[in-house]
Structure formats: C-alpha cells, structure tokens
Amino acid sequence: MRSPTVLHNQRGSALVIALLILVVLTLLGIAALTTSTVELQISGNDKVTKRTFYSAEGGTQMGSELLEQNIDQKNWTAPMDIGQASQDHWKVTVVTSNFYMNTQANTPDPIPSDTNRDAFYPKDYTGSDPHTNIRVRGRTELSTGSAIQLAAGYEGKGKGAAGGGAWVIYDVRAQYIDPRGNRNAQATIDLGWRHVM
C-alpha cells in the first residue's frame, strides 16, 4: 500500500476557498461603495444645477414683471424697493431708473453681474449669499400689419386698409449666483419679452 502524498492531501483547501470568496466579496463591496459615492456626487450636482437654473429663470419672470411696471409707472427713482412688507426677504431693489429705455446702443453689455444690473433681489444679501441680478435692454421694431384690399384697392379703384404699429422687443436677462459651498453655482437665462405699443 502507498502512503498519501502531500499533493493528494486536501486538508486546508476550504480555508483557501473561503479566503478567495472573501477577497471577491471585499472587491465587490469596494466597487459598490465607489459607485454609490459617485452617484451621490452626481445627484448633488444635478440638484445644484436645477436649483440654479430655475432660480435664474425665476429672475427673468421677475424681470419681465418689473419691466411692465417700469413702463406703466414711468419716472421711478432708483434705488427703490418693491415688495410687500410681509415678504421683506423677497423685496427687489431697482438700481436703474426707467430701465425700460435701455437700448442696444446705450447698453452694450447686457449680461448682468454685481456691477452691471438694473435690479437685484433679495435686497439685503451679503457677498456670500445667493442672489439674482437682472438686466434689461430693448429694440424697437415695426409690427407686421394686416392688409385688406377693399373694392379692388390694388387697382386704384378702392382703398386699402392696413393695421400695424410698433413693439419693443426686450432682452430680459437674469443671473443667479450662489457662492456658497465649493460648487460656486451660477446661471444666466435670457428671455425675449415683447411689449406691444
């Protein structure tokens, strides 16, 4: 009879297999942890991006409302605060009087910033607080009319009636800045606004 050799001895193989499975499970756990960390960063960046975008879009809506108020109530004196007393933190400060008269010629840089703005809110922000800057400029255009030929007016045997007028097309731009945190989020939105005269 032959004596068993070391090669045919299987004692201790369960330990090696268990260690291999433990290494594989550890690698899978590290991969899952890395993936979840990256996913959390992506969702955090997505949240900041969406909040910044919608805050800037809200600034364009505020700017269009301010524009209509500025056109209706001419000769504002700047700076002034607009808003209800119960909502003091949302008051808008208008920096430029009669900004509805800004044109492309006299407003060469329409991008709003902390030094180039017609209005901003909230009124009492500090340099590290989120805020929105608003800038407006417009251009006057003749509106398209509707022509009606009465009794062959094109032949000179009647008359033509045309209705038209003018409108001012405004670029309302809002810049939302959130300097908090390490992301330094910022968005600028441009809105075309047509005021029919």
25-29, 171-175, 193-197: least confident range: 193-197
| Amino acid 84: pLDDT | 54
- DSSP letter for each residue of 107-150: -S-----SSS-SEEESTT--TTS-EEEEEEEEEEEEEEEEEEEE
146 pLDDT tier (thresholds 50, 70, 90): low
CA torsion sign for 86, 89, 90, 91 is: positive
Averaged pLDDT, 8-25: 85
CA torsion 166-68-66-87 (nearest 10°) is -170
What are the C-alpha distances in Å from 197 to residues 2, 76, 80, 88, 100? Answer: 111, 20, 26, 33, 13
Q: How far apart are CA 1 and CA 9, in angstroms?
A: 16
Give counts: helices (H), strands (E), the chain: 1, 6
Could you tell me if 131 and 125 are in contact, meaning their C-beta atoms sit under 8 angstroms apart? yes
Does residue 129 carry a pLDDT above 70? yes
Across the chain, mean pLDDT equals 78
| Amino acid 7: pLDDT | 60
Domain ranges of the chain: 13-196
User: pLDDT per residue over 25-73, tens digit each?
Assistant: 999 999 999 999 999 999 988 988 898 999 899 999 888 888 888 887 7
| Amino acid 5: pLDDT | 61
| Amino acid 39: pLDDT | 95
